[in-house]
Structure 1
């Protein structure tokens, strides 16, 4: 074979390797871009408001690894029930075990240094349990399941503010409520854009929710009225316009970053 054939063969092998690596990453990292914003924004809001400390770094890594462990465990539960062959659920065992081990290795020393982290973690257990029940029923896209996932993620400012400042739990209540009102709204709004597009019931519920959220955050801080007014406008005007999923995701990333900036700046 000539040099040209060798070059083509080399490129083909390289492409195969890259595809294999992509599939490997896909088996470990879920394709849920909105979840990453929901995990990061409340955590960072509390860390920045309470004052960043080195302890926030292992806590953040443990938090993300814990999410991955729970995700893969739920997929194992779901696929074990709906698939007849063990191959599909089995591929989630190794990521679940490795991520859980990593989260424990980072989280346990933190729990020794800050014992109040253990009861804080225990408060998330009922919501995670709800997510497991919906995974077992193969109804992960249900509205209540999405709302149950939002609550522990948006409660993280209570933890990260206290970890930074050493103050009371109430110090993180404002940013936690702001994040909860936003991310709970995204559960409704994204459904009107993708899985429930065209549903007038979901559209009306989404707009009504965002109106109520705007009134609530205005009482919490008038400065929050501006971003939540934008969230209301996007909930009212964007459904039905045929936007691609990537565009919907990009809008939500921009909204999440904007929320983080306002919460850190005014609360």
Structure 2
């Protein structure tokens, strides 16, 4: 019996940091922990599901699929029953994951638009977590979810420039300009904590020698540390 687990290091950061940013903004409660457990199992669920979409003949995905589905339902359905608006917020993110499934079926998962769809759907968890704590959402939470989208897209550009696009000068230039525009845009919007976080992201991309980063584990650890710094600075700016 084979158990499927997501292997992408970056995707774990995208699952954890936006959600707990929203939870801290609203005030962490037991509800946040229980709901995150459900989200965690739904996230695990996408591994066997995407494997099936890539290879339709695979039938070893069902133990993982059924177990993750059951556990996700155990944690999520009670919250949906108590507050249907939470279900509506979750449904708002589903189109982005349908896009991921489509690209998995087409075997074009490396396209930037596929990364953008996944990042947008996971960053929306910030809004959901805030609603779980406060019972409402405002433009501020949507804005901070947007900051996470820009941040994680910077990570995608950086990682691709180190691995798959290592020998593509045009991609490196696009990545450099994107990283440079992020702190500038944050300053224009008077989001100074975000500007500081984006500036550190720019420094990371511009100054760390790519020759020293050839192993995915090294790259993943640096991106995780950068995500923690972003998490701390974003919350500092919010409060």
Scaled by the length of structure 2, what TM-score is found? 0.92
* CA distance in 2 between partners of 1:114 and 1:225 (Å): 36
Report the RMSD for the aligned CA atoms in angstroms: 1.7
Between structure 1 and structure 2, the one with the greater Rg is 1
| Match 2:39 to one of 54, 57, 63 | 63
1:30-73 per-residue CA deviation (whole Å, 9 max, x = no partner) reads 22111111100000100001111111111101111111112321
Which residue of structure 1 aligns with residue 51 of structure 2?
75
Which residue of structure 1 aligns with residue 63 of structure 2?
94
* Local SS of the residue matching 1:196: coil
The question of 1:261 aligning with 2:232 is answered yes
The question of 1:245 aligning with 2:221 is answered no
How far the C-alpha of 1:201 sits from its partner, in A, is: 1.8
The question of 1:52 aligning with 2:23 is answered no
Given that residues 76 and 93 in structure 1 are in contact (C-alpha distance below 8 angstroms), is that contact kept between their aligned partners in structure 2?
no
Matches within 5 A, 1:210-225: 210-218=179-187, 219-225=189-195
Given that residues 162 and 171 in structure 1 are in contact (C-alpha distance below 8 angstroms), is that contact kept between their aligned partners in structure 2?
no
| Match 1:150 to one of 113, 119, 125 | 119
How far the C-alpha of 1:255 sits from its partner, in A, is: 0.4
The question of 1:209 aligning with 2:178 is answered yes
1:124-169 per-residue CA deviation (whole Å, 9 max, x = no partner) reads 1211111111111112222211111000111111111121122334
* CA distance in 1 between partners of 2:80 and 2:100 (Å): 25
Matches within 5 A, 1:1-267: 27-80=3-56, 86=57, 89-218=58-187, 219-238=189-208, 240-243=210-213, 244-267=215-238
* CA distance in 1 between partners of 2:118 and 2:142 (Å): 18
* Local SS of the residue matching 1:46: helix
Consecutive unaligned residues in structure 2, runs of 5 or more: none
Given that residues 201 and 226 in structure 2 are in contact (C-alpha distance below 8 angstroms), is that contact kept between their aligned partners in structure 1?
yes
Given that residues 19 and 129 in structure 2 are in contact (C-alpha distance below 8 angstroms), is that contact kept between their aligned partners in structure 1?
yes
Given that residues 159 and 169 in structure 1 are in contact (C-alpha distance below 8 angstroms), is that contact kept between their aligned partners in structure 2?
no
Given that residues 217 and 225 in structure 1 are in contact (C-alpha distance below 8 angstroms), is that contact kept between their aligned partners in structure 2?
yes
Scaled by the length of structure 1, what TM-score is found? 0.83
